């Protein structure tokens, strides 16, 4: 074949998460803390099935024919109403596009705003599939370390100074993937002020915000946005079902035309049946009760994993304390690489993802281990935490801790 791969697609990286998932799939009886999937216990399957049947019966063409690129209008209105009521996001100057999952929100933010050679400043570690999306538009990535209350702001400001070609900040404000950290309101305000000062956009990726199971809600940066620089992405993947491939993107009205053309250039519109189902879930069910159920599931699992880890984990290993979402992160002592421990855990039947999979440079050693408590059963969480804890004792002692 004499075809050449485009420059921008030569630099994207394979997913370490997918690698671990495949390694796990080739073994029997593994306990997976690797997949960032929501718990299937949270899927309201009977509602979904009933709504699907209703749609096919009542007005099949409305879920089978081509639809509007911006999205199904009643769903758009329902999402806007919730974002205003719950998060204080106004739609006087903002608009909303239904997208095929949060990943597509990242794709469109990049498509509409990034030129080749632009810099995107990212939290590090963070969700590597979005790193790849930025790379797929020829952007360069600059990382700013995460702290338990959000990005290190001194390093953020330094990066903004060092890289005047910065066009965008990428932030997961709530129950971040992979750390489980949540950016404080104080830091959200300062990050926004820095974005204003340096005239950069913020891509605020907030798929977990409805999954808070402890502490107080913190409003998104988008709610502070007075000059249209924040693009705010939400997702139905974690509160309804991932395979719906449904999310939304909020942006200044000045971007509406380009966002709609982006949609027309890629997949024309998102699946209508799922848009109808999502709308019915939000308006014909007790949506608040459904979210409370999701939160209960993750509160229970998170608490269980933390308390079980506490029993056996070597004391030199720190552990994040998420107040929501699907993940927590273990941190080995600074300078240690988690990879050998992750592989040995796999040998013992426990799959987790090394922190290196969430770094710009996946090949550098990293001391983090992401643990998803969302899909494992309670029994698996107990057994898996025990295995990890015992291994950690062995490893840390060997390393002289």
Site for a copy of itself in 106-125 (CB under 8 A): 107, 111-116
CA distances from 162 to 29, 66, 150, 352 (A): 49, 47, 20, 35
Which among 44-52, 292-300, 301-309, 359-367 is the span making contact with a copy of itself, rule CB under 8 A? 44-52
Choices 7-15, 154-162, 344-352, 386-394; region in contact with a copy of itself by CB under 8 A = 7-15
**Only segment of 36-44, 296-304, 346-354, 390-398 that touches a copy of itself (CB under 8 A):** 36-44
Q: Number of helices (H) and strands (E), helices first, in the chain? A: 14, 14
Stretch that binds a copy of itself, among 42-50, 305-313, 330-338, 346-354 (CB under 8 A): 42-50
Q: Decide if residue 306 touches a copy of itself (CB under 8 A).
A: no
Which of these ranges, 6-14, 214-222, 322-330, 347-355, lies near a copy of itself under the rule CB under 8 A?
6-14
- CA neighbor of 316 nearest in space, from 380, 249, 393: 393
CB 121 to a copy of itself: min, Å: 15
Sites for a copy of itself among residues 84-103 (CB under 8 A):
100-101, 103
Check residue 355 for interaction with a copy of itself (CB under 8 A): no
* CB of 104 vs a copy of itself, minimal distance in Å: 5
Applying CB under 8 A, what is the total number of residues that bind a copy of itself? 79
* Residue 334 lies near a copy of itself (rule: CB under 8 A): no
Taking each helix axis from N to C end, the angle separating 16-25 and 339-347, rounded to the nearest 10 degrees, works out to 20
Stretch 53-82 residues interacting with a copy of itself (CB under 8 A): 53, 56-57, 60-61, 63-67, 69
Nearer to a copy of itself, 67 or 396 (CB): 67
Instruction: Establish if 14 lies at the interface with a copy of itself (CB under 8 A).
Output: yes
Question: Does 201 help bind a copy of itself (rule: CB under 8 A)?
Answer: yes
Among 26, 45, 335, 398, binds a copy of itself (CB under 8 A): 45
Judged by phi (left if over 0) then psi (alpha if -120 to 50, else beta), residue 227 lies in alpha
**Shortest distance (Å) from residue 393 CB to a copy of itself:** 33
Rounded-to-integer distance, Cα 58 and Cα 79, Å: 23
C-alpha 211/C-alpha 83 separation (Å) is 15
Q: What is the dihedral of CA 237, 242, 246, 251, to 10 degrees?
A: 40
Helix axes 272-284, 287-312, angle to 10 degrees: 90
From the CB of 196, what's the least distance to a copy of itself, in Å? 9
Q: What is the largest CA-CA distance in the chain?
A: 68
Residues 6+ apart with CB under 8 A from 119: 139, 140, 141, 142, 163, 165, 166, 167
CA–CA separation, 191 and 204 (whole Å):
11
- What residues contact residue 28 under an 8 Å CB cut-off, 6+ apart? none
- Minimum distance between the CB of residue 40 and a copy of itself, rounded to whole angstroms? 5
- In this structure, what DSSP letter does residue 364 have? S
CB of 359 to a copy of itself, least distance (A): 17
Check binding of 1 to a copy of itself (CB under 8 A).
Answer: yes
State the minimum distance, in angstroms, from the CB of residue 379 to a copy of itself.
18
Q: Which of residues 264-283 bind a copy of itself (CB under 8 A)?
A: 264-274
Q: Which of residues 205-264 bind a copy of itself (CB under 8 A)?
A: 227-229, 237, 241-245, 252, 254-255, 257-258, 261-262, 264
270, exposed or middle or buried, with CB in 10 Å at 0-12, 13-18, 19+? buried
């Amino acid at each position: 074949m004499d075809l050449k791969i485009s420059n921008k697609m030569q630099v994207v990286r394979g997913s370490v998460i997918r690698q671990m998932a495949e390694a796990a799939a080739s073994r029997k009886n593994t306990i997976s803390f690797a997949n960032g999937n929501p718990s299937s216990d949270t899927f309201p399957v009977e509602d979904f099935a009933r709504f699907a049947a209703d749609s096919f019966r009542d007005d099949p063409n409305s879920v089978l024919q081509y639809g509007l690129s911006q999205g199904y209008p009643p769903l758009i209105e329902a999402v806007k109403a919730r974002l205003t009521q719950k998060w204080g996001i106004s739609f006087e100057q903002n608009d909303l596009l239904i997208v095929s999952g949060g990943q597509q929100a990242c794709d469109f933010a990049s498509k509409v705003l990034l030129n080749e050679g632009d810099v995107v400043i990212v939290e590090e570690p963070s969700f590597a599939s979005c790193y790849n999306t930025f790379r797929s538009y020829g952007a360069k990535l600059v990382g700013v370390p995460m702290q338990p209350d959000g990005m290190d702001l001194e390093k953020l400001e330094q990066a903004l100074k060092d890289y005047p070609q910065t066009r965008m900040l990428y932030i997961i404000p709530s129950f971040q993937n992979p750390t489980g950290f949540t950016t404080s309101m104080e830091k959200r305000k300062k990050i926004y002020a820095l974005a204003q000062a340096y005239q950069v956009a913020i891509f605020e990726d907030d798929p977990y915000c409805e999954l808070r199971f402890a502490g107080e809600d913190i409003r998104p940066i988008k709610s502070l946005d007075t000059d249209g620089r924040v693009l705010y992405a939400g997702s139905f993947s974690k509160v309804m079902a991932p395979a719906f491939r449904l999310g939304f993107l909020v942006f200044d009205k000045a971007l509406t035309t380009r966002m709609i053309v982006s949609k027309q250039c890629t997949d024309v519109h998102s699946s209508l049946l799922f848009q109808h189902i999502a709308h019915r879930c939000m308006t014909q069910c007790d949506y608040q009760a459904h979210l409370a159920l999701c939160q209960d599931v993750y509160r229970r699992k998170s608490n269980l994993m933390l308390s079980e880890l506490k029993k056996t984990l070597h004391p030199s290993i720190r552990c994040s304390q998420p107040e929501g979402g699907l993940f927590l992160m273990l941190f080995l002592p600074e300078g240690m690489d988690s990879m050998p421990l992750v592989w040995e855990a796999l040998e013992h039947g426990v799959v987790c993802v090394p922190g290196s999979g969430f770094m710009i440079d996946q090949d550098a050693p990293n001391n983090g281990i992401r643990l998803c408590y969302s899909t494992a059963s309670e029994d698996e969480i107990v057994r898996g935490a025990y295995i990890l804890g015992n291994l950690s004792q062995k490893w840390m002692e060997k390393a002289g801790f």
